[in-house]
Structure 1
């Protein structure tokens, strides 16, 4: 997905200047990294506020048009107001389109309702991870990784090594093959075998 934002350079800096920008429905932001100096910019509040609500915005290479010059960036940090729906500040990091980048992408879990452990055993799926570290060229960056849970029974898990990966994408593993999701019985519930054993004992 191609996502582009318009921005203006920000001359005045400091707390007072940032307050004035926010009152004018502008958001102070910065682009940093690469071989060029950090670039203070301003964004339209409504544009960035609605963009931040889209999952893809957090895991895509973005284009920021600053006075006709386009920068390829990743979203790195967002500061929100403590209780208002207001974006206070945004950080972007420049991306070199010819070099691998390291970032996090969300995990999408599908078909849990079709898993034998859910349909026939009364189990529930627990998501141990909701995002994961990857490295790839910017052109190969996926918006998310999809994990099919349809084959799980109670007591089974999906591990990092079982996640299907698009071409050119590599997961950065922290630990020996961590669990991503697991299917277990709710607390207090009994498996079919345990229930059958109890039934035999009561006879």
Structure 2
């Protein structure tokens, strides 16, 4: 059969987990990344929502798997199931809520203690479209991130500000080349650093539901 002669490109899967307090906007960021549109009204995430996009490269397909976790305290213990084996964790706080940054710090400490030691951790301050309600300055967020050695970006899921730039920065640092080399040598996946793709090259997304 002709299709049997077509060499399928390897698929390199990258798992990114979203963590943060309830109502900081994790699901809105998730929706913006996957669908470009977002619903202003949605119920709190129960457990976890999953979706992915494929980015087509010449030699391989890069699959970005995004896991949106629940922010309620009663679901906190479940999060370890989702950040296990993740290549990246996006920890989100609300720039209008100081307590959400305290919760973000809890997540970062937990990731440093329990997650993959090579995990890429990114701190994102959401809701910069509410300047009159802001209680955490960009400088404070950046200083906090620098203390932990994290990537940092302020965004607005509502106004779609810096969402693409945020994920471009994450995707560019994912260990795609290392994972491809491991896959070719039959060693499975590994974590490292640097990929190098713009999300402008995204070819498709799949809705796997919640």
Question: Which structure is higher in strand share?
Answer: 1
Same fold (TM over 0.5): no
* Coarse TM-score class (shorter-chain normalised): under 0.3
Question: Which structure is higher in helix share?
Answer: 2
The two structures have a TM-score, normalised by structure 2, of: 0.24
The two structures have a TM-score, normalised by structure 1, of: 0.25
Structure number with bigger Rg: 1
Which one scores higher on RCO, CA 8 angstroms, separation ≥ 6?
Answer: 2
